[in-house]
Structure 1
Amino acid sequence: MLETLRERLLSVQQDFTSGTAQYSPEFSAGLELLSRYEDAWATLHKGAKDCAKAGELVDSEVVMLSAHWERKRSSLVELQDQLQQIPGFLADLECLTASLARLEANFEEMESHLLCLEDLCEQCELERHKCVQTLQLENYKKTKRKELETFKAELDAEHAQKVLDMEHTQQMKLKERQKFFEEAFQQDMEQYLSTGYLQIAERRGKF
């Protein structure tokens, strides 16, 4: 706007300058006044330009400051959103803590079951070992029983043989004794028949 006004004043000044060349010198005061106005307007125009530059600088600073505070505002809004999410996060954390507590209890229960299972496995292993030992003992008893029966049979056979041998020996002795007594009786009879006297007492000590 100031530039347009200045152009109009310059146009008026040119008109006065061209007109005063033809008129009397009393118009020189008006020309001087116009010249002063022109200088004043030039000063105003320069000041306006400086103000415009300063305004542009201030505007850029304001834009930068606005962008800075916009970023701050965005960060603040984001922080506010995060703060609003804290109760939900705390609730989720509490739920997770409860789940961890239940999981820990389940782990403890599982560990207890595993210990029981380990005990059962040890008992089963012990029972299996006892069964194996029992089976081995039974087999050993059977083997020893067979050996005992065999040994007993051998003893019985040996005893029977000894009994037979003893009976045979006894029979032989009895036969010998019988034969001895028969011979002695025969001798006694012959002695008695020949002499009328028996010597039985002398032979009794031999048997």
Structure 2
Amino acid sequence: MLENIKKKLNNAFKEGIHMTENISTQFSRVTSPTLDSNNDPELGIPPEINIAAGAELLQKYEDAWINTYEANKANVEVAKNITETIDRLQQRMQTRQVNINDMMTCLAGLPTIEANLKASLEKFNQIEALGFAVEEKIADLLNVTQMLDRQELIIQMNLEAKCKEMIELEAQQQKEATEQRLKIQKEEEKLKQLQQERQAVFDDAFQSDMQAFKQTGGVAKIELKGPRVMTLEEIDLDNDDTNDLEDFLND
């Protein structure tokens, strides 16, 4: 519809320009006569002929043509403005048509978008449920971790206590072993000293008996209380024992 109006305005615009050009050409060729009724004798025109007859009518038409010319010029400008306005409207309509087409395309894709949104919502719900499950598992894991930490702390404390007890026990054992060793050493020293004293007594008694044996040829018998002890006379010496005895006496 706008295209038809534009064409009609263009045609009117061309016709107005053509009419204006024609009127301008005609007025440029015709010179309006003056309203003076006196004839110029030099022209050779008889005085009875009024050459100014119809000048007022011609002036009227000339004014009408001038007005028409100005109106046509104004119409041309108006038509030009209307044409520009129609061009702008056409561009806007084309732009809006493109926007409408894009909108229709988008609207045509709404069912697909809705289906995708529903699928995304379901996925989101699944992910949310999975997140809740993961949070519960993490909470359980934290509880287990805390319990293991407590157990590890208890075990560590027990181990430290056991180590401390073992260290104390080992120190006590070492102390007792040292005391026992010192005690045994003292007992051994006492026993050794006792043995040395007894050995000295036995040596003295043996030397006395040997001196008496050498002088008298016998040994006095000593009555001892307790179980019977064999005397030297009652002891039978073998050759080996005799040699040992002689070595002992020589020493």
Give the TM-score normalised by the residue count of structure 1.
0.50
Q: Which has the higher contact order (CA 8 A, sep 6+)?
A: 2
Higher helix share: 1
